Structure 1
């Protein structure tokens, strides 16, 4: 009798049945065929013998699971082989596939986001200075002048980071300094005064002057001046202009030298190059010290005058190291870091 596969889900033997039956011993193992029974509550393999077709034996569940696991493993191997196929010369590994990107060129290849936003001119001129080097005053000014190249004359700026917190009253810094060589800028001065003070303002060369009439013009939006000087008796009336002048930094203040009885001297000083500086909320002082077309000696003299003024007006609440860092730059060029110790020890201009 030929071998055959028999599925008998209704008469499948229970799991405890064993293959060690004496009746199976007489038959050759090659005469037994297996078939899983999907309809049975307990999956099993059913064996039938050609000598006794009516004799059925059920194999235990673990063996059935092993056979099913082997079949599943073969399916998984086939799927992995399909995933590793080559498509357009690139191997796919898993479900996530990232195509290769083209190498970046131009500004996109620059390492920092800040440089990628700079102009080509800026990227070229910043190669003239060494970011890691701290320059002395003379060398820094020479490098700064080399980096200028715009269509207008750029201003020279100084930026000092100080160990100050202006939210404390004893750590506020606000003062004025007269630059010996001037600022190179045309300053429009307005004067608020009465009586003889108006005649003094006119004689001193004030661009705009007046009393109540000028206050009304400012309220209407007149702002054609860079400095506003007021006499002490006019301050009660000027208080109403705080919302207009305050945000622009034009409000008269005794610390800034813009509230004074000597109108003639105040006008002359601001016309010749008197500048005001103050520490901002981050502890930094920003101040102009001339134009980049000034001779090097004039820029050095103006700069050191500002440094000495900042040192002289050191607030009482400043503790520890007062100077943290110092930089100079032109209006449209990168900053140049100064050596603070050499800057403070700089000797006069006869050695320049």
Structure 2
């Protein structure tokens, strides 16, 4: 893969094979985020889980103290009083059955998070094939299947993010923007790591956090020492 000049220059600041302390890694990631836009800072965690086993799944949600720096568009599946409540709470889109063809046939995806009341899951279930692969399917563990739509919307707008294993047992999560202060990024990062450590499945043996890498959208990865995070 051909890398640009900025990436190559940024990569020179990172010592190959080094494992950094949290504060040092955050400072480096901010320094190497040299794009013209406000880059997202992400964490990639390779775990010792085997996601093929149900008892080794890691999935949950956590509210980052300083948010993600991104405006999140929320779609709520609800009806009657709950639909009105969702609108009052500031949901971007609210609907039911009528949204199925729009999403399924027209490929409408102008939303980042989907919340649903339990009684609407029969309707939402029909979208499983399109929402599932995009990680948009509402889930009780993530607090996105709930009767308390106001709380769900407020939490998401306050910086609630979902974490889950992908097919290769890695968790990819945004923890802020390059414009955040080092303290804000450190707070968000620590809140996320604490939640993931707490969510460790009992069935996982050996090292749980194998590698932890911080990176900006366009910048090189900075590896942290996972043993110092647990």
TM norm structure 2: 0.95
Task: Check the 8 A contact 1:165/1:281 in 2, yes or no.
Answer: no
Partner secondary structure for residue 128 of structure 1:
coil
- Among 115, 130, 133, the alignment partner of 2:15 is 130
Are 1:220 and 2:76 counterparts?
A: no
Look at both structures and tell me which one has the larger radius of gyration over its CA atoms.
1
Give the corresponding residue for 1:272: 158
- Among 31, 34, 43, the alignment partner of 1:149 is 34
Mapped partners of 1:282, 1:247: distance in 2: 14
Task: Check the 8 A contact 1:230/1:258 in 2, yes or no.
Answer: yes
Give the corresponding residue for 1:288: 174
Q: CA deviation at 1:188?
A: 0.3
**Residue deviations 1:70-100 (CA, integer Å, cap 9, x gap):** xxxxxxxxxxxxxxxxxxxxxxxxxxxxxxx
Q: Which ranges of structure 1 fall in alignment gaps of 5 or more residues? A: 1-113, 345-352
Give the corresponding residue for 1:161: 46
* Aligned residues: CA RMSD: 1.2
Q: CA deviation at 1:271?
A: 1.1
Task: Check the 8 A contact 1:131/1:336 in 2, yes or no.
Answer: no
Q: CA deviation at 1:303?
A: 0.0
Give the corresponding residue for 1:81: none
Q: CA deviation at 1:219?
A: 3.0
Give the corresponding residue for 1:308: 194
Q: Which ranges of structure 2 fall in alignment gaps of 5 or more residues? A: none
Q: Which deviates the most, 286-295 or 244-253?
A: 244-253
- Among 139, 143, 147, the alignment partner of 1:257 is 143
Mapped partners of 1:247, 1:342: distance in 2: 33
**Residue deviations 1:156-179 (CA, integer Å, cap 9, x gap):** 111111111100111111111110
Q: CA deviation at 1:323?
A: 1.7
Task: Check the 8 A contact 2:96/2:123 in 1, yes or no.
Answer: no
Q: What does 1:1-352 align with in structure 2 at a 5 Å threshold? A: 117-221=2-106, 222-344=108-230
Mapped partners of 2:143, 2:68: distance in 1: 17
Mapped partners of 1:151, 1:210: distance in 2: 37
**Residue deviations 1:174-207 (CA, integer Å, cap 9, x gap):** 1111101000000000111111101110110000
TM norm structure 1: 0.63
Partner secondary structure for residue 229 of structure 2:
helix
Q: CA deviation at 1:281?
A: 2.1
Mapped partners of 1:298, 1:341: distance in 2: 22
Give aligned pairs, total.
229
Mapped partners of 1:156, 1:137: distance in 2: 14
Mapped partners of 1:238, 1:252: distance in 2: 8
**Residue deviations 1:37-83 (CA, integer Å, cap 9, x gap):** xxxxxxxxxxxxxxxxxxxxxxxxxxxxxxxxxxxxxxxxxxxxxxx
Larger RCO (CA under 8 A, 6+ residues apart): 2
Mapped partners of 2:76, 2:31: distance in 1: 39
Mapped partners of 2:229, 2:48: distance in 1: 17
Q: CA deviation at 1:128?
A: 0.8
Q: CA deviation at 1:220?
A: 3.4
Q: Which deviates the most, 284-293 or 244-253?
A: 244-253
